[in-house]
Amino acid sequence: MAERKQLFLNLFEMATASHITHGLWPLPGNNRERFADIDYWTELAQILEHGGFDGIFLADVIGAYDVFRGGPETALREGLQSPNIDPLLVIPAMAAVTERLGFGVTFSTTYEPPFAFARRMSTLDHLTKGRVGWNVVTSYLPNAAHNFGLDGEVPHDLRYQYADEYLDVLYKLWEGSWDDDAVVADRANKIFTDPSKVRYINHVGERHRVSGPHIVHPSRQRTPVLFQATGSPAGIEFAGRHAEVVFTGGRTTEEFRRNADGMRDAAVRHGREREDVKFIAMAGIIVGRTEEEAADKWKLYRENSSLDGILAHSSLPVDLTAFPRDITVAEALRRADVSPSKVPFLPLERTVGQALDFVGGSRDDRFLVVGTAKTVADEIEKWLDEDGLDGINLRQYHSFDTARDFAELVVPELRKRGRLPDESERSDTLRERLFGAGNSRLPDRHIGARYRGGANLDNPVEPLRFDTANAASF
């Protein structure tokens, strides 16, 4: 029998009260208000590690959601991604109480220079013994730009151009600046590092000038596993060059497959193999001991979901809740003097009521399942075999019930079906878990590998270029 494809299983988290399931933090027993308590993270990490998860994935933003209703009030009231503590800093606490759990962490390429970030990620890769991944984002909040000295957001495609140079600097530092055997720690000769094995990178680009050498010696993975979420043409091209794991979606199997194929084509354009890119999706899974118990939980979550939270999160530039439900969206936009081009995702000819119901209920997407462990496992098997998905970021409705329920009920069922490894089989670096034993480092054909051993440091890579004049600015 052909080997069964296994699920790459992450919990989706954010160091905040309300990440993506708005309105649920006050539910009985939900302990999201503890997100700034170090014990929250160590307890959660242990639940995940012992419960069979591969990793925890931490989202991040660096600004307030202040577009909806023209200010941050709604977001603040909702606990919507503010307050939000630094996700990089909770990782060592979790690493200290686990041995195998992986950590995916979000950081933006747009605002902070690369040298300090290279250092922080190398530090985390050392402290976690090679269990760290980076979710590369370019940041979408206007307030983030205002926090870092800019008048407004950098246009969308230009952000990807900036990100491309950012990663080039990082690869030079992570892959090219130090040889693996540079640190000798030779007591007899009193030599800590062999200086002939460490080099400057002398990067001079359009946006960054970084001389190096890297200030941290090589870690297990050197470059952390590179994650990215995208659907735009510029983002897909960027993913084709850089990303190892992409979040993608689709409302149907065909759409998902088409999206994934587009990204694989992009990878091939950048000299990589189709299987060098894995795909994960955000999944809503509500499991119960009976179908009824699961349905009740789902009902509870839906009934408590906050429309205000969802609207503030989507940075809707018009407050549709202030209009009668029976007028069309087009009419509401006209009255609010907001151009339809600012809200391309809204159905203009529908009524305001229909649009609000659509936005409020849009979680009922392809990767959602409510039921017993058997129902859930059947569905996950379809995602793996029919859609071609490699893994999921499990959406949390309740902390820690979502993770515990999945660990107690679904993990044993998936293990029984050969869809998750037994605890004893687990590999130790994050990249090995994704790409197999012995693959702790970037593959040779990845663009970051061109700097290995100091090669190509004076041979610049062709930068990614987009038609930034035509790029949308959101």
Positions in the binding site for ligand FMN (CB under 6 A): 59-61, 106, 137, 139-140, 156, 229-232, 235, 247, 282, 393
Nearer to ligand FMN, 61 or 64 (CB): 61
Minimal CB distance to ligand FMN: which residue? Answer: 235
Q: Cβ 292 to ligand FMN, closest distance in Å?
A: 30
Q: Which residues pair with 12 in a beta bridge?
A: 57
Give me the least distance between CB of 75 and ligand FMN, in Å please: 14
Q: Please state the closest distance from residue 118 (CB atom) to ligand FMN, in A.
A: 20
Q: In this complex, which beta carbon is closest to ligand FMN, that of residue 140 or of residue 200?
A: 140
Q: How far is the CB of 324 from ligand FMN (least distance, A)?
A: 32
Check whether the bond before 83 is cis (ω within 30° of 0). Answer: yes
Smaller CB separation from ligand FMN, 59 or 95 = 59
Shortest distance in whole angstroms from residue 107 CB to ligand FMN: 9
Nearer to ligand FMN, 87 or 218 (CB): 87
End-to-end CA distance of the chain: 48
Residue with smaller CB distance to ligand FMN, 8 or 247: 247
For the CB of residue 247, give the shortest distance to ligand FMN in the complex, in Å: 4
Structure tokens at 134: 């980076």
**229 or 312, CB closer to ligand FMN?**
229
Question: Is the CB of 129 or the CB of 257 nearer to ligand FMN?
Answer: 257
- Residue 134 phi/psi, 5-degree rounding, is -125, 125
Residue 104 CA to residue 48 CA, distance in Å, equals 14
Q: How far is the CB of 30 from ligand FMN (least distance, A)?
A: 21
Angle subtended at Cα 6 by Cα 447 and Cα 266, rounded to the nearest 5 degrees: 30
**What phi, psi does 400 have (nearest 5°)?**
-100, 15
Q: Token match 């029998």: residue?
A: 1
